[in-house]
Amino acid sequence: MNFSVADFRPYDVGKIRRGAARKARYLEARTGCWFCGLGYGSSSNEHVLGRWVEKHFDSETLRFQPHRASIAGRGEARGPMPSSSMSVGGVCAHCNNGWMSRLEQAAERILLGPATSVAAEDVRLLAQWAEKTAVVLNLASTFPLAWNRDDRRSVILGPSSRSRVSLFRVEDSDVNTLQGEEVTGTVPSKWPTGTQVSTFQLVHVARVRLGRVVVVTLHVPWQMEPLRRYEMPGKEVWNGVTPREYDTQTLPLLATWRGSLVHLDVGDSAFWRTPSLHDVYEPGRLDSRFVRDGEER
């Protein structure tokens, strides 16, 4: 199968061409909708934060500096920019106006509605929204592609078994996003050192701060199944299998919305194999002709 370099995500291709890609990433040609892969209806933009946030926060609050972590683990901020400018194209109208719209309506009700007690069925919807938002944040930002095609499509059906979601509160009300924070952990000793590093670089952590509540989403690549143990800030509400009801008023109160590290303890997996270069770009190992010619190899 042949495709044009233009079908790839420009940020990733540009980094590789300049020899500046220091983190592992998925390298995929997009031939349809970023989510369903098909593209029913016209292409549209999906916002990182739904337009409903404009009903709850003033324009000054919604003009913020989205954060990301650099390769050295230092925090970097862009902007300030209005939340309405944070979006990604290439999402079909069927997805945008269908299941995504329903998730945004649920998230507004759950996160900013009058009820403080959240039942398990709503937690499942919130976890699915958190994953969708993490994917859109990843796609819309200057950050390596960390969700592959299968993982993005699985979000349509519900929260993933390879994702975890936690919540906590902070004192001050604000709006912001963060992705790419440093993840620590242990892996089986049989993993080659280079693969250990690259696989950890494919772990995606996203934080969304809406008012005084912070939603943390952790997503790991399939090579990391099963997770024997993991530590996340706040109260875990989705553990990959079971939604856990909670009350907003009793969520842990942390001093800052950033800074609490995520730790993983990865066990041996019968499904483990070395990532294929058809799926993952590992710095220093990808044939440069792949990027120059845009040919699948």
pLDDT tens, 224-277? 877 778 899 999 999 999 999 999 999 999 999 987 778 888 876 554 444 444
In a domain, 282, yes or no: no
In a domain, 144, yes or no: yes
Question: Residue 185 — pLDDT band, cuts 50, 70, 90?
Answer: confident
Owner of token pair 């590290």: 261
Closest CA to 139 of 106, 167, 177: 177
In a domain, 292, yes or no: no
Beta strands 81-82; 183-186: pairing state: unpaired
The more confidently predicted of residues 245 and 12 is 245
pLDDT tens, 188-220? 777 777 777 788 888 999 999 999 999 999 999
In a domain, 286, yes or no: no
Question: Residue 283 — pLDDT band, cuts 50, 70, 90?
Answer: very low
pLDDT score at 53: 92
Closest CA to 27 of 13, 46, 41: 13
Q: How far is CA 150 from CA 88, 157, 281, in A?
A: 18, 12, 16
In a domain, 129, yes or no: yes
User: For the chain, what is the domain count?
Assistant: 1
In a domain, 160, yes or no: yes
In a domain, 290, yes or no: no
Distance CA(143)–CA(133), nearest Å, equals 15
Domain residues for the domain of 67 are 5-26+33-270
Q: Can you tell me the mean pLDDT for 95-101?
A: 95
In a domain, 132, yes or no: yes
134 contacts 204 by C-beta, under 8 angstroms: yes
Beta strands 163-179; 204-219: pairing state: antiparallel
